[in-house]
Amino acid sequence: MADVPSPTAAVDPVLAGAGRVPVGAVRLDPLTEAQVVAHVMDALERGVGGHVVTPNVDICRAAARDPSLRALIDAAELVVADGMPLVWASRLLGRPLPERVTGADLIWSLTGAAAARGLPVHLIGGPPGVAEAARDALCERHPGLVVAGVHAPPYGFETSAAAMAELRARLVAARPSLVFAGLGFPRQDRLIAALRTDLPDAWFVGCGAAIAFAAGSVRRAPEWMGDHGLEWLFRLLGEPRRLARRYLVDDLPFALRLLTGALLRRAFGPRSKG
């Protein structure tokens, strides 16, 4: 993906959030990565903040079971598909999403656009040292990028009033325009919902493992595997003990049901007249 979108990639702000494509339990904005970056930059120029959620199959499965998670996703200003099965399902439903848009790609393209405009960013997440390594990699890729802060909070910090107060103080002092929260769904997105009032003109991105990918502490699948919906297999082979149940028992059957349901709706659903 290109680090900075061309000016022609701009999307009318009223399109984001309107005309979403329902896929399973989530509703997705039909935007390209370049359009997401253009929309966020345009909103920042106007002093308007927001939240980007990038659902994959696992997030879609969680949302199907929990109405509060569906509401959390639906409340975000931008919701884009980080998962080829969601893109394939949208095509079967006759409302195709233009492409897969991942947090792992957005961390590069959004920071590239931020560097070009002198906008500061902040990184939250990862084990000690990982966010710092990601900062260094991003700054090497994008000379002039201002990283206003990095923070690697301990697990469960969001349940501590003192830890939350410390994070709020860090963010308010840093005044970033972009905040990447890589804590995994739904922790990162619940945290974002709690922090947005402190920085109402900033954009928050729930980016999952993107900080670790940018740091190089976790290897990302080759691009061809991601394009063919096989990134899960690459990660499974790398961490079989941790990910086997999630991918093989939970996510793979859910993805097959999602695609089968979309195919049946296409074949036997109501047809438009005229």
Note the pLDDT tens digit of each residue in 168-199: 999 999 999 999 999 999 999 999 999 999 99
Residue 270 has what pLDDT? 63
Instruction: Read off the pLDDT band of 16 (50, 70, 90).
Output: very low
Q: pLDDT value at position 96?
A: 96
No. of H helices and E strands in the chain?
Answer: 13, 8
Q: Please report the pLDDT score of residue 5 as a whole number.
A: 44
Where does the pLDDT of residue 271 fall: very low under 50, low under 70, confident under 90, or very high at 90 and above? Answer: low
Do 22 and 167 contact (CB within 8 A), yes or no?
no
- State the residue for tokens 């984001």: 16
DSSP string, 161-173: HHHHHHHHHHHHH
Residue 10 scores a pLDDT above 80: no
pLDDT reported for residue 18: 57
Q: What angle do CA 175, 163, 182 make, to 5 degrees?
A: 65
Contact 178, 160 (CB under 8 A): no
In this structure, are residues 113 and 5 in contact, taking their beta carbons and an 8 Å threshold? yes
Q: Which among 28, 139, 41, 1 is positioned nearest to 89, based on CA atoms? A: 28
What's the token pair of residue 128? 């000690």
Q: Cα–Cα distance between 30 and 185 in angstroms, integer?
A: 21
Give me the chain's average pLDDT, please: 90
pTM for the structure as a whole: 0.89
**Cα gap 252→250, rounded to integer Å:** 6
pLDDT at 194: 94
Confidence of residue 6 (pLDDT cuts 50, 70, 90): very low
How far is 51 from 73, CA to CA, in rounded Å?
Answer: 9
